[in-house]
C-alpha cells in the first residue's frame, strides 16, 4: 500500500459563478491567482489571512457537500515538494458516476484495455473536444509550510500545456536530487496564448520552479530540511570563527629555564605574526636575567646559586686579581643567539 500524507485541501486554478439563466449550470472562470478549498474552515481562514481574499462557503459541482474556499490575492505561493515523485499524470474522462477512464496514452487502466481515444480517433485524438476524449490530468501534492497541520494541498490541472510545463521542470530537479529530501518551490499561474490552425487560443500554465537563491542549489543534490524551510540560508556567508586568543609570550618566557627556550618563544611569536620590537626587548631582558641566574618571575637569585663569598674571620673578601694588561673577561657571544632577522639595532644609521 502506498504511503502518503493526509490531504488538507485543494489548490485550484479556477472557480465558477452562478449562471444568469437558472436553467443552465454555473459558468467556469479562469482565475489569475490560486483558489484554495478545504472541508476545514480553519485551514481556509488561515490561508486568507496569509494570502489575502475572502472566505466563503462553496459547494463543488456534482456534489451536495459544502466546503470552504478563498480566491487568494497573492501573486504566487511558496510551497515545499515532498520527497519522491510528487507528480501524477494521466489522461482521464469523468462523468456523473466518477472517473470513467484513466489512461497513459497507450493503455487504459480501469477497464484494462488499449487506449480508447487512440483507437477511435487516431494519432490526433488529443485535438478533439474534451467531451469526446480523455483530458490530460496532472496532480501534484505540496506542503504549504505557513499553514496549520501536517498534510498536503493537492493541485489539479487539466491543461495539456500545464502538464507539459510541470513535467519538464520537475524531471530536471528530480534527476538532480533523486527524489530525496524536501524542495522549496514557487508556484504561480501564467496566462499564455498560442495560435492553432489560424486561431488564437488562450490558456493557463501553472509555473512551478525551485525557490532557491541559485540554480546550482537545485541541481547539486538534496538539501536539508532546515534549508527547505529557509532557502535563503543556503546563500548566507559562513560565520567567521573568532580570532584565536593571543598567547602570553612574556609569561611563557618567564617559565623558561634557559636562554635557548626564550629564543624559541620569540620564534613562535614571530611566526604567528605577533613579533614586535617591544616584545623582542622584553624577551631579551628575560634571557639576560636567566643567564645571570635571576628568577625572571620574581627577580630573585636563589640562595644555592649565589656564588658570592662572604668575608673571612678578619672581614676580608676573597677577590680575583688580574693584570691590567690582560683583557677583561667577556661573555660568550654565542651563548645567546637570537635569529638574524630579530637582531636589535640592525638598520640603525651610524
By C-alpha distance, which of 93, 89, 96 is closest to 125? 93
Same-domain check for residues 166 and 194: yes
Q: Quick check: 259 and 287 in contact, CB under 8 A?
A: yes
Residue in the block written with cell 515523485: 85
CA distance 315 to 335: 36
Domain count, the chain: 2
Same-domain check for residues 108 and 140: yes
What letter does residue 299 receive in the DSSP assignment?
-
Q: Which of 232, 267, 290 is the last residue before a domain boundary?
A: 232
Same-domain check for residues 184 and 260: no
Same-domain check for residues 74 and 143: yes
Residue 241 C-alpha cell reads as 570563527
Q: Is residue 176 part of a domain?
A: yes
Characterise 72 by phi-psi region: left (phi > 0), alpha (psi -120 to 50), beta (else). beta
Spatial neighbors of 264 by CB under 8 A, at least 6 apart, are none
Q: Is residue 90 part of a domain?
A: yes
Q: Is residue 171 part of a domain?
A: yes
Q: Quick check: 186 and 209 in contact, CB under 8 A?
A: yes
CA distance 178 to 171: 10
pLDDT tens track, the chain, 350 positions: 566 778 999 999 888 888 888 888 788 888 899 999 999 999 999 999 999 999 999 888 777 889 999 999 999 999 998 888 888 888 888 877 788 889 888 888 888 888 888 888 888 887 788 788 888 888 889 999 999 998 999 998 887 777 777 777 777 777 777 778 888 889 999 888 877 777 887 878 888 888 888 877 777 778 778 888 888 777 766 565 566 788 898 898 888 888 888 889 988 888 888 888 888 888 888 888 888 888 877 777 665 555 555 555 555 555 554 454 555 454 444 444 565 554 443 333 33
pLDDT at 41 (0 to 100)? 95
By C-alpha distance, which of 36, 9, 44, 34 is closest to 208? 34
First-to-last CA distance in the chain?
94
Same-domain check for residues 59 and 208: yes
Same-domain check for residues 288 and 162: no
Domain membership of residue 78 as a residue range: 7-232
Same-domain check for residues 152 and 14: yes
Residue 11 C-alpha cell reads as 489548490
Q: Is residue 339 part of a domain?
A: no
Q: Which of 265, 285, 301 is the last residue before a domain boundary?
A: 301
CB count within 10 Å of CB 99 equals: 13
Q: Quick check: 209 and 194 in contact, CB under 8 A?
A: no
pLDDT at 10 (0 to 100)? 94
How does strand 7-17 pair with strand 152-157?
parallel
What separation in angstroms does the CA of 228 have from each of 103, 149, 172, 213, 282? 34, 17, 18, 12, 56
Same-domain check for residues 156 and 91: yes
Alpha helix ranges (H) inside the chain: 41-51, 116-121, 160-177, 215-219, 225-229, 249-254, 259-271, 277-291
Same-domain check for residues 119 and 220: yes
Q: Is residue 238 part of a domain?
A: no
pLDDT at 347 (0 to 100)? 33
Q: Taking the alpha carbons of 33, 174, 228, 39 in that order, is the dihedral positive or negative?
A: positive
Residue 234 C-alpha cell reads as 543556503
By C-alpha distance, which of 202, 289, 214 is closest to 250? 289
Q: Which of 258, 283, 301 is the last residue before a domain boundary?
A: 301
Helix, strand or coil for residue 263? helix
CA distance 192 to 279: 75
What letter does residue 305 receive in the DSSP assignment?
G
Same-domain check for residues 192 and 74: yes
Same-domain check for residues 194 and 63: yes
Q: Is residue 184 part of a domain?
A: yes
pLDDT at 238 (0 to 100)? 57
Q: Is residue 315 part of a domain?
A: no
Same-domain check for residues 211 and 280: no
What letter does residue 273 receive in the DSSP assignment?
T
Q: Is residue 295 part of a domain?
A: yes
Amino acid at each position: 500500500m502506498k504511503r502518503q500524507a493526509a490531504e488538507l485541501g485543494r489548490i485550484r486554478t479556477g472557480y465558477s459563478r452562478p449562471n444568469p439563466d437558472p436553467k443552465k449550470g454555473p459558468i467556469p472562470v479562469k482565475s489569475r491567482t490560486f483558489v484554495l478549498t478545504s472541508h476545514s474552515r480553519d485551514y481556509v481562514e488561515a490561508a486568507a489571512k496569509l494570502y489575502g481574499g475572502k472566505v466563503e462557503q462553496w459547494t463543488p459541482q456534482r456534489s451536495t457537500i459544502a466546503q470552504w474556499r478563498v480566491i487568494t490575492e497573492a501573486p504566487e505561493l511558496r510551497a515545499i515538494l515532498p520527497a519522491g515523485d510528487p507528480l501524477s499524470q494521466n489522461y482521464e474522462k469523468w462523468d456523473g458516476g466518477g472517473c470513467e477512464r484513466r489512461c497513459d496514452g497507450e493503455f487504459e487502466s480501469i477497464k484494462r484495455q488499449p487506449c480508447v481515444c487512440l483507437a477511435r480517433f487516431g494519432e490526433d485524438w488529443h485535438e478533439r473536444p474534451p467531451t469526446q476524449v480523455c483530458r490530460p490530468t496532472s496532480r501534484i501534492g505540496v506542503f504549504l509550510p505557513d499553514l496549520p497541520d501536517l498534510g498536503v494541498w493537492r493541485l489539479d490541472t487539466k491543461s495539456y500545456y500545464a502538464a507539459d510545463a510541470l513535467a519538464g521542470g520537475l524531471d530536471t530537479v528530480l534527476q538532480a536530487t533523486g527524489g530525496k529530501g524536501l524542495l522549496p518551490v514557487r508556484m504561480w499561474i501564467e496566462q499564455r496564448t498560442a495560435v492553432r490552425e489560424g486561431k488564437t487560443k488562450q490558456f493557463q500554465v501553472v509555473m512551478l520552479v525551485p525557490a532557491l537563491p541559485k540554480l546550482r542549489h537545485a541541481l547539486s543534490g538534496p538539501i536539508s530540511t532546515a534549508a527547505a524551510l529557509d532557502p535563503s540560508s543556503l546563500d548566507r556567508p559562513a560565520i567567521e570563527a573568532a580570532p584565536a586568543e593571543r598567547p602570553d609570550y612574556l609569561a611563557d618566557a618567564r617559565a623558561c629555564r634557559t636562554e635557548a627556550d626564550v629564543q624559541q618563544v620569540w620564534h613562535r611569536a614571530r611566526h604567528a605574526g605577533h613579533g614586535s620590537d617591544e616584545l623582542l626587548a622584553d624577551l631579551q631582558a628575560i634571557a639576560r636575567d636567566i643567564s645571570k641566574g635571576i628568577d625572571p618571575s620574581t627577580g630573585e637569585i636563589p640562595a644555592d646559586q649565589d656564588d658570592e663569598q662572604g668575608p673571612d674571620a678578619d672581614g676580608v673578601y676573597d677577590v680575583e686579581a688580574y693584570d691590567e694588561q690582560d683583557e677583561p673577561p667577556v661573555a660568550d657571544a654565542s651563548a645567546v643567539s637570537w635569529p638574524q632577522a630579530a637582531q636589535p639595532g640592525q638598520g640603525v644609521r651610524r
